Amino acid sequence: MVFSTGWASGVNAYLVVLVSGDADSVQQAAYGALGGGTALASHLVKAGGRLAINASPEPVSNVVASLGEDAAVVGVVLLALDHPRIALVVSAVLLVVGAYLVHHLLRLVRRGWRRWKGRPAPA
């Protein structure tokens, strides 16, 4: 939901390299772990969002979600080229907002699934 799957690792790695600068090896390893962790988190947010969005029967939400993901990726990458620290903050905010939305969307999907399972089978 926040990043397209193919671009998330590249964006996070680019931000980590720009922010780390000239750090010793322990700090570089910590920044690498932080970058990998945020890449994993962005992939989980996207997968969770797709799980919730694909539960809806109409195609408009899928198109809007895909275009929103692509716009977010392009925006953060372009921002990272000139202002990496601002891009880091923006991507962190997008990650937190995405995780919040996925949490609530998955709750709605589970509630709908429970209601659907409780209905009698059609004759």
Could you report the per-residue pLDDT of 111-120, keeping only the tens digit for each?
A: 877 887 877 6
Q: Could you read off the pLDDT of 7-31 as tens digits, one per residue?
A: 556 666 656 665 655 555 666 667 7
Tokens of 38: 């945020």
DSSP symbol at 54? T
Which one has a higher pLDDT value, 36 or 90?
A: 90
Q: Which residues contact 3 (CB under 8 A, 6 or more apart)?
A: 11, 42, 43, 46, 69, 72, 73, 76
Tokens of 30: 């910590």
Q: Which residue has the tokens 């922010």?
A: 19
- Determine the average pLDDT of the residues in 72-81: 88
Tokens of 21: 């600068």
Residue 121 has pLDDT above 70, yes or no: no
25: left (phi over 0), alpha (psi -120 to 50) or beta: alpha
Q: How confident is the model at residue 82 (pLDDT cuts 50, 70, 90)?
A: very high
**Identity of residue 32:** G
Mean per-residue pLDDT over the chain, rounded: 75
